[in-house]
């Protein structure tokens, strides 16, 4: 039996949004890859999340009652392995998360599956799955195929796909799994403090700055402008790498995807492919750059060739 299997993820009693994102991605691949779309839920009480996963495209939901309230990679690996054996999917999608770090590679090695992590694009080409991920410090995109692999397991970056919506009436199946040898004993759950708790993936209006601002001393000026406009201040990778803004504000392939953004103003951003990857869901892009040949203009709905400092001062007078 072919098809696509999505492993839903939940944490501390809540279904993580990336689960619905992966379902949307899988649904878009059904026509090319063929077969049903199955979603698997693993946990001590997986039934509580079933209704939330009855979204468009889902053909079957498999519940596996296993483990305790804390995530256990050994139990998760045993459960997912059992689901793969029962349904024989050609493609398995797992969120690229701290949970996946604990079991995905082991699962792929034990099963002899094709495997890639931090994937942000998936295609079905000439009968085979092809995954795209970053390489050489996210400076290039690398396409990977998996010759002679009946099952391909991919961990997929969050916010690549918009969450699935609509509704469906999938079959719900409970699947028992054999007990796993547990080698990890979870301790207490500790919330990590964040120096900057902004969520770029949820921002509807973003103004991002790039290397065109010239120097760190100009950051407060653009922060003030963003606040006056009601925008969330974002940045390109050079700004984050320089420590001028927190990494949480970086938009791009190695940063965040502006998945909820409706209006994006790019100030002094050249438009490298890595940054454009974080803007793929934005409906309206306004680019301001002194270089008329900047790549950002190829995706912008509105483009302004000029000095971003002068433009920022002029814009500020209207707020």
Q: How sure is the predictor about 90, in pLDDT bands with cuts at 50, 70 and 90?
A: very high
Beta strands in the chain (DSSP E): 4-7, 10-11, 14-15, 37-43, 60-65, 91-95, 114-125, 128-135, 140-145, 152-156, 171-174, 205-209, 232-235, 263-267, 284-289, 302-305
The per-residue pLDDT for 135 is: 82
Question: What confidence tens digit (pLDDT) does each residue in 17-57 have?
Answer: 999 999 999 999 988 877 899 999 999 999 999 999 999 99
C-beta atoms surrounding 270 within 10 Å: 19
- Kindly list the domain boundaries of the chain, sorted by start residue: 4-174, 200-316
The per-residue pLDDT for 67 is: 75
User: 114-125 and 128-135: which strand pairing?
Assistant: antiparallel
Q: How sure is the predictor about 199, in pLDDT bands with cuts at 50, 70 and 90?
A: confident
Question: What confidence tens digit (pLDDT) does each residue in 145-174 have?
Answer: 999 999 999 999 887 888 888 999 999 999
The per-residue pLDDT for 138 is: 66
Please classify residue 211 by burial: count the beta carbons closer than 10 Å to its beta carbon, then call 0-12 exposed, 13-18 middle and 19+ buried: middle
Average pLDDT, the chain: 89
Q: How sure is the predictor about 189, in pLDDT bands with cuts at 50, 70 and 90?
A: low
Rounded mean pLDDT, 117-128: 92
Question: What confidence tens digit (pLDDT) does each residue in 225-236 have?
Answer: 999 999 999 999
How far apart CA 213 and CA 310 sit, in angstroms, is 11
| pTM exceeds cut of 0.85 | no
Residue 94 phi, psi dihedral angles, 5° rounding:
-125, 140
Task: Give me the percent of the chain exceeding a pLDDT of 90.
Answer: 64
How far apart CA 211 and CA 196 sit, in angstroms, is 21
Structure tokens at 195: 């120096």
| CATH architecture type of domain 4-174 | 3-Layer(aba) Sandwich (3.40)
Rounded mean pLDDT, 136-151: 87
How far apart CA 4 and CA 312 sit, in angstroms, is 48
Does domain 200-316 bear CATH number 3.40.50.360? no
Q: How sure is the predictor about 193, in pLDDT bands with cuts at 50, 70 and 90?
A: very low
Structure tokens at 230: 């009601």
In contact, 37 and 25? CB cutoff 8 Å: no
Please determine, for residue 197, whether its predicted confidence score (pLDDT) is greater than 80: no
Residues 6+ apart with CB under 8 A from 22: 6, 7, 8, 93, 94, 95, 156, 161
First CA to last CA across the chain, in angstroms?
A: 59
The per-residue pLDDT for 191 is: 55
Asked if the domains 4-174 and 200-316 are classified in one and the same CATH topology, the answer is yes
Please determine, for residue 187, whether its predicted confidence score (pLDDT) is greater than 90: no
The per-residue pLDDT for 158 is: 84
Residues forming beta bridges with residue 200, ordered by sequence position: none
Please determine, for residue 2, whether its predicted confidence score (pLDDT) is greater than 90: no
Please determine, for residue 144, whether its predicted confidence score (pLDDT) is greater than 60: yes
Question: What confidence tens digit (pLDDT) does each residue in 200-225 have?
Answer: 888 999 999 999 999 999 999 999 99
Please determine, for residue 294, whether its predicted confidence score (pLDDT) is greater than 50: yes
Q: Is 124 helix (H, G, I), strand (E, B) or coil?
A: strand
Q: How sure is the predictor about 195, in pLDDT bands with cuts at 50, 70 and 90?
A: low
């Amino acid at each position: 039996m072919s098809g696509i299997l999505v492993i839903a993820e939940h944490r501390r009693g809540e279904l993580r949004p990336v689960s619905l994102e992966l379902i949307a991605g899988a649904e878009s691949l059904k026509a090319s890859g063929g077969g049903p779309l199955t979603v698997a839920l693993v946990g001590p009480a997986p039934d509580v999340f079933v209704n939330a996963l009855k979204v468009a495209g889902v053909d079957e939901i498999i519940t596996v009652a296993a483990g305790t309230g804390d995530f256990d990679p050994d139990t998760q690996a045993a459960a997912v392995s059992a689901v793969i054996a029962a349904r024989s999917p050609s493609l398995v999608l797992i969120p690229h998360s701290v949970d996946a770090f604990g079991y995905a590679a082991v699962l792929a090695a034990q099963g002899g599956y094709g495997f890639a992590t931090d994937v942000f694009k998936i295609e079905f080409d000439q009968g085979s799955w092809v995954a795209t991920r970053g390489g050489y410090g996210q400076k290039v995109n690398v396409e990977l195929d998996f010759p002679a692999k009946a099952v391909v397991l991919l961990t997929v970056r969050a916010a690549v796909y918009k969450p699935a919506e609509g509704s469906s009436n999938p079959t719900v199946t409970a699947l028992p799994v054999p007990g796993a040898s547990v080698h990890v004993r979870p301790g207490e759950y500790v919330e990590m403090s964040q120096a900057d708790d902004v969520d770029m993936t949820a921002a509807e209006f973003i103004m991002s700055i790039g290397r065109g601002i010239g120097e760190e001393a100009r950051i407060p000026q653009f922060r003030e402008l963003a606040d006056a406009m009601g925008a969330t201040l974002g940045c390109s990778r050079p700004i984050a790498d320089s420590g001028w803004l927190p990494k949480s504000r970086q938009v791009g392939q190695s940063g965040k995807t502006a998945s909820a953004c409706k209006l994006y103003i790019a100030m002094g951003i050249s438009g490298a492919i890595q940054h454009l990857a974080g803007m793929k869901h934005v409906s309206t892009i306004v680019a301001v750059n002194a270089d008329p040949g900047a790549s950002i203009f190829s995706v912008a709905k509105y483009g302004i060739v000029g000095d971003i400092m002068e433009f920022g001062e002029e814009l500020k007078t209207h707020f």
